[in-house]
A and B are shown apart, each in its own frame.
Chain A
């Protein structure tokens, strides 16, 4: 177990992962009722990645996310009430109902947005890293990228620029095996995305993305190096998603019982619980208590989102420019 993790850290990590899981399971259920508009892309199954990375971060640090952004938002501290209201398109949402699931952002929390464009985040993260460098605030900037996004030119250009400018950036490639319905073992030309790190002159490390401790340790090394001026790192997290690309995806491209088996054998929250209880760091009772508060919060967030006011007609025309 990573030596730097205190009991408080572990409790925080568990709460974060559990919040993401329950948030996503609940959005999945609620989406099926037809009340949630548009597209949602759920992060359930991948919680250890966002949590293992973001537990290292502070208010000076920035992250940019993907379509599958709810987990990153929660891990960076974005309020789940605002997020749920945003997903319902309500005026009380994080983005006042103008962004939706694919664009939840909270710049005050250093969350630069989920992104509707695959590969949209890495260039922005180079900029956030550059700003931290100019401000000399030791901030780091993290781009979460999927295996689909790992093939985008924007991502590859950003890897190059981050090394050329020696930026405090970490590129976290969350390889969940599928870009939409296309397998990454088919669409990624190299065996592992991490091999690309070498070509861009930066350290690369591959971790089991279901293992919170592995992610946490790899991230800690990379982030410390970046804060000390040592430049960027690429981390590939091999993981799995429990749901489809988007809600409504019949997932006929996946093998029979694939998801069922994953839930049984590759559950980052269960493996975390086993590990901390066997090490005597946390008790099951402590985690059960967290489960209760998390579920109550999510229930409350859904109830409040459903009851929240919708945006008014005048909101259509505001917030385009700061002045015009």
Chain B
């Protein structure tokens, strides 16, 4: 049996193995070392939740602390990428995109096209996403759809430790800018992860559970919630096929369309707010390309159209849960036209 480590350790291992393999890989972010310039120990934090801890003692100056100055250092990572480095920059929380988005969507995303195909920008922007941490409205959002909207960016949302490692290594080696979304509630999730280096290609969804009645398309932390719902529904003999998209840009449309072709029923589960999110995008693709296969209207299970609330009582209502997914599946299963 393979070794079991956490989602967080899987990302850290991917970073370390790629840094060992390729000297052009550098890591930077706020407190990615921690304690810089202070009198106490170095590597004090290793990132605010410890993902980069242990890299500084191994790789020294290739692991860089930054001022709290996202425009400057995210932009610097992008500039360094065009100049031959492979930086992995940490935008601590995706919510902070507001203070540096220009460098990501007007600079990094557009260089290749705007410069006539002559630029490569192999930068990875790691960023924490998602609710559940009681971190309230400005530290909990699921903003991957905004990045998915931008041509030139690739967007990755791993759901398991195995995928986190393989997709991170792929992200570092990829020659386009990648937004790598790490759900903070997944950091402690355990899973089997090989010690050796491996990659998972972008644009290949993972069918994590086979089923013939209803297709559940989801991503990130919601993969686990959808699996819980599918397991409960199986007791009532409703077999759900659960698809983890893994990446939203590129997106694996074929796997989704093939599954809907088989089941004729689709529920899309997305932790993001409901307008213009991945659920609406997947729904539009299926409605456009597999309308004839549908036996019931598409259902979407998403967060409500509100900011993320602080109170645990409210936040638990905000986040899609298994019961809501089961209700949606029951609705599309029972649809008679």
Contacts and interface: CB of A to CB of B under 8 A. Distances in A.
B106 A164 contact: no
Given A120-B106, A126-B79, A135-B84, A161 B151 contact: no
Given A124-B78, A126-B79, A160-B72, A134 B26 contact: yes
Nearest to B119: A107
Contacts, number: 155
Given A93-B116, A97-B116, A153 B76 contact: no
Nearest to B61: A134
A145 to B, nearest CB: 13
A128 interface: yes
Contacts of B74: 123
Given A107-B119, A108-B118, A319 B103 contact: no
B154 A124 contact: no
B175 interface: yes
Contact of A157 (B72, B113, B118): B72
Interface string A87-131: 000000111111100010111100011011100101111111011
A105 B113 CA distance: 11
A289 interface: no
B67 A131 contact: no
Nearest to B176: A321
Given A130-B80, A160-B67, A105 B106 contact: no
Given A322-B112, A322-B175, A120 B85 contact: no
B71 A123 contact: yes
B117 interface: yes
A153 B82 contact: no
Given A120-B106, A157-B69, A323-B174, A127 B115 contact: no
A163 B95 CA distance: 27
Interface in B159-180: 174-176
B83 A127 contact: yes
Interface in A266-321: 318-321
A20 B64 CA distance: 40
Q: How large is the interface on B (under 10, 10 to 19, 20 to 34, 35 or more residues)?
A: 35 or more
A127 to B, nearest CB: 2
A320 B112 contact: yes
A72 interface: no
B83 A131 contact: yes
A117 B79 contact: no
Contacts of B203: 324
Nearest to A158: B72
Contacts of A134: 24, 26, 62, 80, 85
B72 A96 contact: no
A160 B69 CA distance: 9
Given A134-B26, A154-B103, A324-B250, A123 B72 contact: yes
A67 interface: no
Nearest to B106: A117
B85 A130 contact: yes
Interface in B180-219: 203
Given A157-B69, A323-B175, A123 B79 contact: yes
A323 B79 contact: no
Contacts of B72: 122-123, 126, 154, 157-158, 160-161
The 3 closest A-B pairs by CB, nearest first: A123-B75, A127-B79, A124-B79
Interface of A: 62, 64, 93-99, 103, 105-108, 112-113, 115-117, 120, 122-128, 130-132, 134-135, 141, 153-154, 157-158, 160-161, 164-165, 318-324
Given A103-B115, A127-B80, 17 more contacts: A95-B115, A98-B114, A98-B116, A106-B115, A113-B111, A123-B76, A123-B79, A123-B107, A126-B76, A127-B81, A128-B82, A131-B84, A161-B69, A318-B117, A320-B152, A322-B175, A324-B250
Interface of B: 24, 26, 62, 64, 66-67, 69, 71-85, 87, 102-103, 106-107, 111-120, 151-152, 154, 174-176, 203, 250
